[in-house]
Amino acid sequence: MVTSNDFKRQWEEIRESALGAFEQVGASGQYVLGQEVRAFEEALASYWGLDHVTGVASGLDAIEISLRILGCAPGDRVLTTPVSAFATTLAIVKLGAIPVFADTDENGLLDLSRCRGLLRKRPDIRFFVPVHLYGHLLPVGELRRIRDEFNLMMVEDCAQCIGARSYSEIAGSAGQLAATSFYPTKNLGAMGDGGAILTSDAKLDLRARALRDYGQTEKYRHQYVGYNSRLDELQAAYLHRACLPRLARWTTRRRAIASIYLAGIRNAAVRTSAGPEGSESSWHIFPMFVAANLRNKFIEHLKSAGIAAAVHYDTAIPDQPALAQVSCELADDCANARLLCRSEVSLPIHPYLTDEEVGQIIQAVNAWRGGGIC
């Protein structure tokens, strides 16, 4: 079976460096906030191209803490997308703030012209959490103009877009802060949970460092009501020594597979998307779209050809039961988002796919005979 991720093949490749990293941490006798976390933060900052990185316990925490730093408080309105991992919205509602959902375009990314129209009418919206979904960057320059024009506090959700560019601009450089995740399936995945807050502002970075560690600015000095949200030494050493040195090559392979899919998939019953103009994607996910009423049949068809496809995501966030228990607002009918959640199918795109497997997947997609393109 061709699977969405292949951690076994990954382990074969990284085993030696991973065991070396674990040995290093064990021998150091320091397991929380030591030199491995610091070294990883510096290496990631230089890889990413932003000045400061603070490791935290998860992507969810990275978004929540970033919003806290920017002053997001109960009752504040936060513009965001209805199509993402639930964590994007969960970070907002955990602060008691109110998510405002604006519809996506037909490929699942936030529609920034729609956002502009909404922000003109709603000066009470002061916070914005855009998501670079699937690894495709929203236009960074346009995000920056929106931030300046409407005087917004912005946290970019970069959990899926490490290494991506938009017209050569870096992910996370439009918002005051950016958040990423090291959940195992992510392009840079830990062997457990982890995340990071990124910024080019040294003061905001200091605040992140304090908040992740009980709000301490120095030992036993609790300046803020903080969190216990620290990245472990073990995860940092593993990410830094076993994964980060290979990430550029993994990303190149993901991009190559995406190009082969885009060139090879020829079937009027399915739709693919190359991402927005100018986006040099990190291809965390390869989304494609089929008729909503035939999606399960399509997934079954792939399964019978030995391919395990996934779905990102099967329910628009405002339609999740948890959101009936808190305040949230729909800025419009979110019709694109809702249709997309019923028609999206994600093909495997991990870097360990062989050329034969990629060919097998294209053949199976092209052999699908489902009517009614979405």
Residue ranges that bind ligand PLP, judged by CB under 6 A: 58-60, 84-85, 87-88, 131, 157, 159-160, 181, 183, 193, 195
CB closer to ligand PLP out of 10 and 88: 88
Provide CB contacts within 8 A for 192, sequence distance 6+.
Answer: 184, 232, 235
Q: How far is the CB of 50 from ligand PLP (least distance, A)?
A: 18
Nearest to ligand PLP of 232, 357 (CB atom): 232
Q: What sections of 125-243 are H helices per DSSP?
A: 140-149, 202-212, 233-238
The nearest distance, CB 321 to ligand PLP, in angstroms, is: 19
- Is 260 or 326 the residue whose CB approaches ligand PLP more closely? 326
List the end-to-end C-alpha distance of the chain, in Å, as a whole number.
Answer: 27
Residue with smaller CB distance to ligand PLP, 84 or 282: 84
Count of beta carbons in the 10 Å neighbourhood of residue 217: 14
Question: Would you say 159 or 328 has its CB closer to ligand PLP?
Answer: 159
- Residue 134, amino acid: Y
Q: Minimum distance from CB of 15 to ligand PLP (Å)?
A: 24
Token output for 347: 């093909």
Q: Would you say 183 or 283 has its CB closer to ligand PLP?
A: 183
The residue among 45 and 56 lying less far from ligand PLP, judged by its C-beta, is 56
Minimum separation from the CB atom of position 192 to ligand PLP (A): 10
Q: Considering the complex, what minimum distance in angstroms separates the CB of residue 318 from ligand PLP?
A: 16
In the complex, what is the shortest distance from the CB of residue 155 to ligand PLP, in angstroms, rounded to a whole number? 11
Per DSSP, which regions of the chain are E strands?
52-56, 77-80, 98-101, 125-129, 153-157, 165-166, 169-170, 177-181, 195-199, 216-218, 221-222, 270-272, 279-280, 286-290, 329-330, 344-347
Residues 6+ apart with CB under 8 A from 294: 370, 371, 372
Name the residue nearer to ligand PLP (CB basis): 211 or 365.
Answer: 211
Return the residue nearest ligand PLP (CB atom).
59
Shortest separation between residue 279's beta carbon and ligand PLP, angstroms: 15
Using the structure block, give the residue that is written with the tokens 């017209």.
167
> How many whole angstroms separate alpha carbon 240 and alpha carbon 254?
20
Three-state DSSP class for residue 301: helix
Considering the complex, what minimum distance in angstroms separates the CB of residue 22 from ligand PLP?
A: 21
* CA atoms lying within 13 Å on the CB side of residue 67: 31
